[in-house]
Amino acid sequence: MHALGIDIGGTGMKAAPVDLDTGKFLADRIKIATPQPAAPDAVAGVVEKLVTAFSWSGPIGVTFPGVVINGVTRTAANLDKAWIGLDARSLLSKAAGQEVRLLNDADAAGIAEMTFGAGSGEPGTVLMVTLGTGIGSALFVNGILIPNTEFGHLEIRGKDAEQRASERAKNLHDMNWKQWAKNVNEYLEHVEALLSPQLIIIGGGISKQSDKFIPLFTGLKAKVVPAAMHNDAGITGAAMAAHPGSAAPARAGAGANANPSLGPTLGTSGVAGTHGDQGLPGFPNPGLPE
Ligand code: BGC
């Protein structure tokens, strides 16, 4: 099964068709700079361009760098404020020429990593953190996603964490690896104190250079690893959300089926729901209330 994944970021918008059985791209991704200001119509125009560039007519999933509940975008820390409260799914569906699925960008990246990447088969509490224009977070408990967690906006030393520890902050304040790693380390210690994950997956484009900063972390009990798909995880996760009936999201459990931010969908069992049958295969029923 194939789907087109589109990842809307504060800096770039990326798309690629994805094979949902492997998570791999079927063609080279296309990247277009996010329009500035990143107003809804301008961003929708780029979505249209990306769909046209691949002459795509199958399912489409789109990520958004903010809270998404049932297709409505609730926050927009790094995009134009006109997104707040907007029925973004309708706008982007019109632009794409067909119904799209819309979810938070870090949630999408996390779903992809839990299925095909660094979190594959990992039980217990796993946190994915994406370090880019902002800081995104995706929290999993036994493979089930708790969507829209927004841990990038925790306050550290009186500032929004993403103002100190995102990739953008590193560039903006011209921090060297050591200085920036210290900020990220402090941020992760804070998050660890709140959530006690046993695995932290670091995503975003900068995760390609993880050897420059992950070895500098100290004092963390969690295992910290780079995302296997780096900045491509969001595209794969978007495509997975587009096709909730596909083998991949069913395996992820956490994926599109169980994501309340996408609205009710039918799982492979034909039952709309959020309970344990959507967990990773071989994993205990997480015991969520039915
Ligand atoms: C947003 C998150 C998003 C993250 C990464 C933050 O500013 O609030 O929703 O996941 O940036 O794009």
Question: What residue ranges do the domains of the chain occupy?
Answer: 2-104+233-252, 109-231
Protein residue with least CA distance to atom 10, ligand 1: 136
Q: How far is the CA of 10 from the centre of ligand 1 (A)?
A: 9
Lining residues, ligand 1, CB within 6 Å: 65-67, 75, 77-78, 104-106, 130, 132, 134-136, 150, 152, 162
Say if 2-104+233-252 and 109-231 have the same CATH topology. yes
pLDDT tens, position by position, 171-213: 999 999 999 999 999 999 999 999 999 999 999 999 999 999 9
What average pLDDT does the structure give for the chain? 88
pLDDT tens, position by position, 29-41: 999 999 999 999 9
163-173 average pLDDT score: 98
Dihedral angle, C-alpha 141, 146, 150, 154, nearest 10 °: -40
Mutate which of 127, 150, 163 for ligand 1 pocket (most atoms within 8 A of beta carbon): 150
229-244 average pLDDT score: 94
CATH of 109-231, one of 3.40.1160.10, 3.30.300.30, 3.30.420.40, 3.40.50.300: 3.30.420.40
Q: Name residue 3's amino acid.
A: A
Task: State the pLDDT at residue 250.
Answer: 36
Protein residue with least CA distance to atom 6, ligand 1: 134
Q: How far is the CA of 87 from the centre of ligand 1 (A)?
A: 18
> Which residue, 3, 18, 148, is CA-closest to 72?
148
214-241 average pLDDT score: 98
Q: Look at 125 and 279; give whichever has higher pLDDT.
A: 125
Enumerate residues 6+ apart whose C-beta is below 8 A from 41. Answer: 91
Protein residue with least CA distance to atom 1, ligand 1: 66
User: What atom in ligand 1 is closest to the CA of residue 162?
Assistant: 7
Q: Regarding beta strands 12-19 and 159-160, do their DSSP bridges make them parallel or antiparallel, or are they unpaired?
A: unpaired
pLDDT tens, position by position, 243-274: 865 544 434 444 444 454 565 443 333 333 33
CA 284 vs CA 130, 142, 244, 281: distances in Å: 28, 8, 21, 8
Q: How far is the CA of 226 from the centre of ligand 1 (A)?
A: 18
Mutate which of 79, 104, 166 for ligand 1 pocket (most atoms within 8 A of beta carbon): 104
Q: Which percentage of the chain shows pLDDT scores above 90?
A: 83
Superfamily of domain 2-104+233-252: ATPase, nucleotide binding domain (3.30.420.40)
